[in-house]
């Protein structure tokens, strides 16, 4: 094999191996691949208009689990 052919084969093998590791990492531990929770947020951003310093405001985000297994929300932070 020529050097260029060897490099092409090496690159293809690396891509294949990376794909295998990526697929394994996508499925949560103990759950079969393909059956994962999927969080859907109706409105991800909110326009509050002008908010004065010290003024309180409140908004309720609507969340939905469109996946096939239980969704657990363990941590929430602004940002």
Q: Coil, strand or helix: which one is 65?
A: strand
Q: What is the pTM of this model?
A: 0.45
pLDDT tens digit sequence for 29-75? 665 666 899 999 888 888 888 888 888 888 888 999 999 999 998 98
Residue 10 pLDDT class (50, 70, 90 cuts): low
* CB-based contact 60:51 (threshold 8 Å): no
- Higher confidence at residue 15 or residue 2? 15
């Amino acid at each position: 094999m020529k050097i260029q052919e060897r490099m092409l084969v090496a690159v293809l093998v690396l891509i294949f191996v990376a794909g295998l590791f990526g697929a394994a990492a996508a499925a949560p531990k103990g759950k079969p691949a393909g059956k994962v929770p999927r969080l859907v947020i109706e409105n991800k951003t909110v326009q509050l208009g002008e908010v004065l310093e010290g003024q309180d405001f409140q908004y309720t985000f609507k969340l939905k689990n469109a996946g096939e297994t239980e969704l657990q929300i363990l941590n929430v932070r602004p940002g």
